[in-house]
Amino acid sequence: MLESAQNLIRTIGERMGYEKSKIEQFIAPEMAFEFSIPLEKEDGTTEVLTGYRIQHNSSRGPYKGGIRFHQDTSREEVQALAILMSIKTAVANIPMGGGKGGVRVNPKKLTQSELKQLSKRFAAKLAHVIGEDIDIPAPDVNTNATIMQWMLEEYEKIHGKKEPAAFTGKSVSNGGSLGRTEATGYGGVIALQELLHKLQPNKQSKVTVAIQGFGNVGYYFAKAAVCEGHTVVAVSDSKGAITGNGSDNGLDIPLVHECKKKQGSVCDSTKGKTISNDDLLELPVDVLVPAALENVIHEKNMEKIQAKIIVEMANGPTTEAARQYLISKGVLILPDVLANAGGVIVSYLEWVQGKQGIWWTQADVINRLNEIMRASFEDIWSHSKKQSVDLTTAAFEVAIQRLLSPK
């Protein structure tokens, strides 16, 4: 993952005419922290865990990026994700840089009090190198608003002052932003609407959509897509996939959501029909939305993809070989660094509110998200037309230009 992120930046940077040394300087993280976290377990033993925070680039503003707790987390993974955060914040054109953090641990094996101790010790280790103007962590895989609150409490205790903007992704009752939960899914639909408008400016296009993953991102994407008049014909989760079998094959998204809450997997108590997860990716739909895992569109299934548009809501859902193949077949790929930027954009809006001590309504937040997403889509789209490159290349070129030669 690290190598492929670095190589993509090297290839694009060199083609854009940047000197090799300048590109290598950009690729290397500005700061990298790797540290031990002794965790006193309830059974009386002590486990020594490894934590990471990579501060990749701050040329546009404080480092911004999540903290993940996962048994496979490594220095290389965190560094790759930090680089991609620098690209994403630059694509969104918000005044922030890129960072990422993590602990190599299986949080499902920890008790609630061990998880709290881990979160506080992680924050204590970093307390003097993060902060609202330096580096602002957020939730990521297996971390959430409660964990951000524990980290913030520890950070504020060490510094002896309130500083709510030092962490984002907090619960609304603890200084989080309205609209954050919906932001990534809604942001993806804002980008899709812009794309459809470019393709058919004089028509309100209505499309069929299949969504892999019905978690936070997939659900809110589906909800917003239906609000725009589109038909969501299939959704899936780790346990399976369903498609509608009514006259238009459309699913009743609120019903599927209710049903999943009750039964623990996607279902539709009135008319859903079960299909396999692989079938979902290969359906004859207008728009395919991978919103679950990385590398799900690859060399073995790329020839079976029938969608004309792919909206990458998960991070890195398309392998490089599949991306090249699909682009050669005329498939439009809305890249992850643009399509799923809604989350980091509303994190930025949470930070702005926290610094000012002013709290906006949900409508205010969504309006601002809309403005920022539309502006960044326009930048990437016009660059791709001007330079005759695909949207992924355009997004990286715009970001690299903003990061390496700021105006």
Query: Where along the sequence are the contacts to ligand NAD (CB under 6 A)?
Result: 184, 212-218, 236-238, 277, 291-293, 313-315, 340, 343
| 3 state DSSP class of 126 | helix
* φ, ψ of residue 297 in degrees (nearest 5): -110, 115
First to last CA, the chain: 30
Share of the chain residues as helix, strand and coil, in percent rounded to the nearest 5: 50, 20, 35
CA distance 150 to 152: 5
Exposure class string for 212-246: b at 16+ Cβ within 10 A, else e: bbbeebbbbbbbbbbebebbbbbbbbeeebbbbee
Question: What amino acid is encoded at 397 in this protein?
Answer: E
Handedness of CA 302, 307, 310, 313 (dihedral sign): negative
Minimum separation from the CB atom of position 86 to ligand NAD (A): 15
Q: 269 labelled as ligand-binding?
A: no
- Cβ closest to ligand NAD, residue 302 vs residue 337: 337
Q: 64 labelled as ligand-binding?
A: yes
- Cβ closest to ligand NAD, residue 117 vs residue 168: 168
- Cβ closest to ligand NAD, residue 134 vs residue 275: 275
Nearest to 373 by CA among 334, 407, 400, 404: 334
Residue 125 appears among annotated catalytic residues: no
Distances (CA, A) of 205 to 199, 200, 307, 376, 394: 9, 7, 15, 21, 24
**Structure tokens of 343?**
């989350």
- Cβ closest to ligand NAD, residue 319 vs residue 340: 340
Catalytic residue among 22, 100, 206, 355: 100
- Cβ closest to ligand NAD, residue 203 vs residue 261: 261
Q: 301 labelled as ligand-binding?
A: no
- Cβ closest to ligand NAD, residue 39 vs residue 310: 310
Minimum separation from the CB atom of position 24 to ligand NAD (A): 27
Residue with the shortest CB distance to ligand NAD? 215
Q: Is 153 exposed, middle or buried (0-12, 13-18, 19+ CB in 10 A)?
A: middle
Residue carrying the six token digits 């599927």? 256
Cα–chain center distance at 171: 18
Minimum separation from the CB atom of position 183 to ligand NAD (A): 7
Q: 109 labelled as ligand-binding?
A: no
Minimum separation from the CB atom of position 188 to ligand NAD (A): 9
Minimum separation from the CB atom of position 401 to ligand NAD (A): 23
CB proximity list for 329: less than 8 A, separation 6 or greater: none
Q: Is 279 exposed, middle or buried (0-12, 13-18, 19+ CB in 10 A)?
A: middle
Residue carrying the six token digits 């990061």? 403
Q: 239 labelled as ligand-binding?
A: no
- Cβ closest to ligand NAD, residue 51 vs residue 187: 187
Angle between helices 391-404 and 75-92 (to 10 degrees): 90
Minimum separation from the CB atom of position 245 to ligand NAD (A): 20
CA distance 354 to 243: 42
Minimum separation from the CB atom of position 220 to ligand NAD (A): 8
Gyration radius (Cα) of the chain, Å: 21
Q: Show binding-site residues.
A: 64, 88, 184, 216, 347
Q: Show binding-site residues for NAD(+).
A: 184, 216
Q: Which residues are catalytic?
A: 100
Q: Show binding-site residues for substrate.
A: 64, 88, 347
